[in-house]
Amino acid sequence: MRIVFMGPPGAGKGTQARRLAAAYGLRHISTGDLIRAAIQEGTPLGKKAQPYIEKGQLVPDELVWELAKAALAENRYDHFVLDGFPRTIRQAEWLDALLEQQGRPLQIVLNLIVPDDLIVERLSRRRVHKLTGENYHLDFNPPPPEVDPSLIIQRPDDRPEAIRRRLEVYRLTHEPLADYYRQRGLLVDVDGVGSLDEVFARIQEVLRRQGVLLETK
């Protein structure tokens, strides 16, 4: 399977992509995780990306593409779920050209729909362990009691003001990108409101309806 998840930050792309990957033997490729890892490791790409993340802005296409391209190559351009990429038409064109060159075109784009107010509420409750990078959520996945509370921090891009800036930036590119995939017959909207199980069941139903699950390992 070759799947892209679209949707605003906090729509649940990562959670559902990881669950889908685990259920069907796919690799979850999150450009957000790749970027954060590059920043934490202090790589040249990470140092270039950090100022954009801290300001709640999108990382430039070229930087994200280099990270995504390397991850796709490691997975032989198949059996993947892309989360957070592409975000622009240019990135989508690069991705399409690469996959088609490999004879493995994209199969479906799942577009999760979630209201802005719910997104701000969700993201502002996220936390991260500043030493290990372990992600937590104060409501759904709180840090274990044995973890030192002073090591649990809120990332700059998870503060309410940064979240709203990210949503504004997201809207500038989302509609053109959604139209791009809609015209190619790949985009399917999925209601992202509800329990994790409810949303996952909707995703599975869409994949069955589109025939994508016929290619499971």
Which residues belong to the active site? 13, 87, 126, 155, 166
| Euclidean distance between CA atoms 176 and 88, whole angstroms | 8
Helix axes 13-24, 196-209, angle to 10 degrees: 60
Identify which of 59, 19, 69 has the alpha carbon closest to the alpha carbon of residue 36: 59
Exposure string for 103-133, b = 16+ CB within 10 A, e = fewer: ebebbbbbbbebeeeebbebbbbbbbeeeee
Number of H helices and E strands in the chain, helices first, is 8, 8
> Which of 9, 165, 194, 164 is CA-nearest to residue 85?
9
